C-alpha cells in the first residue's frame, strides 16, 4: 500500500510477552475501538503477538501486503526485548537508520549528553515518518499505512489520535455509525427464519445474535449495526417481525453485558 492510497479498514497489532503471560492486562483494544468509534470508524481486526521477532516479522509482512491502516502497540523502546522497529524494517525490506528529526527530538528532551545513549530509540526503517510523542518527545514512526507507537497507554493513545486526525481526517464521519439491540426470550432456532431474511435483505447492516441461557429460559440479544440513517427503520421492522412470531422483545441499552 502506498502512502497516498486509501486504506480499506483499520487493524491493530498488540505486541508483548507480558500480555500473553498475564503479567499485564491489555488496555489498548477497548481504547482503539473507542478512539475509532468517536470518529465514525471501526476496527476490522486485531492480533496479539509475543516478542518473538520471527513471528512479529511474519505478521508484519502479512499486514503490509494488505490494504488496511494498522496501529502497532509496543516494542519500539530501547531495551533488547523491544524488537518491533527491526522487525518492521525486515518485513518491508529496509535498512534501519537513525532518524535525523528523531535525534533532534531526543536532544531537546534529554540534552546533547543524554541523546547519544538513547539513539537506538529513534533508529527506524529508512524513510519512516515520525509520530510526535506529547509525553516525552521520543517519537513513534509510520511506514506507509503502518503506525508504530509505544506500549505505554498515556503515550500511545494521543499518538494514535494524532495519526487519525492528521492522516485520515477525510475518512472520519462522527455519528455516522449507529447500533441498537433488543432482547428476546426465545431460542435461536425459533427466530432463525427472520434472521436469515434480514441478513439477505440488508447486507449493508450487521445483524448479530448473541444467545444466553438464563435458567430455565433462553434469551437472545439481537443487534443491528450500520449507517445511522438505516438502523432505526430496519430495527423497527425487526421488532415487528419478532412480535409477529409471537415473542416479546425489550430494547437493550448499549453497554449492558
Peptide bond into 216 cis (omega under 30): yes
Per DSSP, what are the bridge partners of residue 2? none
Cα–Cα distances in angstroms (integers) from residue 134 to residues 35, 146, 158, 200, in the given order:
17, 20, 8, 47
Classify residue 204 by its DSSP letter. T
3-state SS, residue 221: strand
3-state SS, residue 112: helix
The confidence score (pLDDT) of residue 78 equals 84
The confidence score (pLDDT) of residue 255 equals 55
- Residues 33-69 have pLDDT tens digits of 999 999 999 999 999 999 999 999 999 999 999 999 9
pTM equals 0.85
Domains of the chain: 10-171 (3.40.980.10), 177-251 (3.30.70.260)
Which residues of the chain, if any, have pLDDT below 70? 1-4, 255-257
Amino acid at each position: 500500500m502506498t502512502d497516498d492510497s486509501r486504506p480499506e479498514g483499520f487493524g491493530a497489532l498488540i505486541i508483548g510477552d507480558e500480555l500473553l503471560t498475564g503479567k499485564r492486562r491489555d488496555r489498548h483494544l477497548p481504547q482503539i475501538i473507542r478512539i475509532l468509534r468517536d470518529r465514525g470508524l471501526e476496527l476490522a481486526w486485531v492480533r496479539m503477538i509475543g516478542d518473538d521477532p520471527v513471528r512479529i516479522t511474519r505478521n508484519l509482512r502479512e499486514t503490509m501486503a494488505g490494504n488496511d491502516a494498522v496501529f502497532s502497540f509496543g516494542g519500539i523502546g530501547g531495551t533488547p526485548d523491544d524488537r518491533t522497529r527491526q522487525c518492521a524494517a525486515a518485513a518491508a525490506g529496509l535498512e534501519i537508520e537513525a532518524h535525523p528529526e528523531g535525534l533532534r527530538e531526543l536532544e531537546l528532551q534529554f540534552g546533547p549528553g543524554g541523546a547519544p545513549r538513547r539513539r537506538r530509540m529513534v533508529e527506524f526503517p529508512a524513510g519512516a515518518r515520525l509520530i510526535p510523542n506529547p509525553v516525552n518527545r521520543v517519537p513513534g514512526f509510520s511506514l506507509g499505512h503502518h503506525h508504530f507507537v509505544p506500549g505505554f497507554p498515556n503515550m500511545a493513545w494521543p499518538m494514535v489520535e494524532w495519526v487519525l486526525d492528521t492522516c485520515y481526517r477525510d475518512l472520519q464521519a462522527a455519528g455516522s455509525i449507529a447500533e441498537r439491540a433488543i432482547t428476546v426470550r426465545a431460542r435461536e432456532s425459533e427466530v432463525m427464519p427472520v434472521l436469515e431474511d434480514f441478513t439477505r435483505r440488508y447486507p449493508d447492516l450487521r445483524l448479530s445474535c448473541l444467545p444466553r441461557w438464563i435458567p430455565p429460559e433462553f434469551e437472545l440479544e439481537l443487534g443491528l449495526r450500520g449507517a445511522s440513517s438505516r438502523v432505526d427503520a430496519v430495527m423497527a421492522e425487526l421488532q415487528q417481525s419478532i412480535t409477529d412470531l409471537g415473542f416479546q422483545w425489550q430494547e437493550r441499552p448499549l453497554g449492558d453485558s
